[in-house]
Chain A
């Protein structure tokens, strides 16, 4: 009995201490990790979507809280008008979360582009979502009110053959992003005007 108690106590204490240390390290490195991801992962995606912007979208980002989470919106300026934003949303893929960056024009409510940022999909199949632009390029020009779905589900997006789950996850991420965009548009318009000045 005594040994039993000792085992439980040792394991519990060890797990709690490990959890505490990890939480501290996680907190300590969070801002540095965010900066690294901006440079190496989100950066290229944002540059691809907002190519030709006269201001740097990564430096001109605004943070708006949406319920419990705080979202970063990257602002682009085209032809003297600050009217395009890019932001990231996640979908559940085959191997884990897939991050999709989408760009929206606030004047026309149309998508200007989409790009996959992070994923853990199978190389050669689901990973094509990032490497091959044929899937994400279909989102360009789509209105935020249209459903983002693959053809099998009654939508317009042709999925990658052999990677339906991945394609659905990307569509799901885009659909979620569209929904939050519509909800947050009034706030967004106010915020990005500040950036434009």
Chain B
């Protein structure tokens, strides 16, 4: 049964929430979520690539020969990633410096290639766009949430975007930040606890 646009969009927000439900795209999930701003920035960059590549692949799907489809996907995805990289360098340079190598690595992010192969190559343009936006938004939220938890516990404060921030130490003066949370092991433990929570809530 064909699904509606809304269904394709909302499935990325919970049922197929990339890092938590599908457990895909863990490299940037673990690597960049040292702060909420990094997580959101990475998520937005990935969303742009995802929507762009889904749109183009869906439009060109009748022209791409099946035997070289992966090569074609990679060209399209790599082009979008390079555009994002240049735009970030031009307009959000400090964020670009912080995300560093993870931006070019979006090329090999299995969420992007996965959506191209599993969805955009087989579906209409409108559905593919909805799918890309949903999955991208879900990824952004997941990275933002993970980044927020790690930043809050690791630094005692969280900067949502720009100057808007919340300071935990002000509300609980006895709270001591544990920097373990912003280091690599903290990422694994935090992700594990998040997965545990999400599975406990279920469908």
A residues touching B (Cβ–Cβ < 8 Å)?
A: 3, 6-7, 10-11, 14-15, 18, 21-22, 25-26, 29, 32-33, 36-37, 39-40, 120
Contact = CB atoms under 8 A, between A and B. Distances in A.
Interface in B70-110: 71-72, 75-76, 78-79, 82-83, 86-87, 89-91, 93-94, 97, 101
B79 A18 contact: yes
Given A18-B76, A21-B79, A11 B89 contact: no
B87 A29 contact: yes
Contact of A10 (B65, B83, B91, B101): B65
Contact of B72 (A3, A10, A22): A10
Given A25-B86, A29-B89, A10 B63 contact: yes
Contact of B93 (A3, A25, A39, A120): A39
A40 B94 contact: yes
B68 interface: yes
A110 to B, nearest CB: 32
Nearest to B63: A10
Given A6-B65, A11-B68, A22 B87 contact: no
A22 B67 contact: no
B86 A26 contact: yes
Interface of B: 63-65, 67-68, 71-72, 75-76, 78-79, 82-83, 86-87, 89-91, 93-94, 97, 101
A14 B72 contact: yes
A25 B72 contact: no
B63 to A, nearest CB: 6
A29 B78 contact: no
Contacts, number: 53
Is chain A's binding surface mostly helix, strand, loop or mixed?
A: helix
Given A25-B83, A36-B89, A7 B75 contact: no
A36 B91 CA distance: 8
Contacts of B90: 29, 32-33, 36
A21 B90 CA distance: 17
Given A18-B76, A36-B89, 20 more contacts: A6-B65, A7-B67, A10-B64, A10-B65, A10-B72, A11-B68, A11-B71, A11-B75, A14-B72, A14-B75, A18-B78, A21-B79, A22-B83, A25-B82, A25-B87, A26-B86, A33-B86, A36-B90, A37-B93, A120-B101
Most buried by B among A14, A22, A25: A14
B104 to A, nearest CB: 11
A22 B93 contact: no
Contacts of B64: 10
A113 to B, nearest CB: 23
Nearest to B86: A29
A127 to B, nearest CB: 12
A11 to B, nearest CB: 6
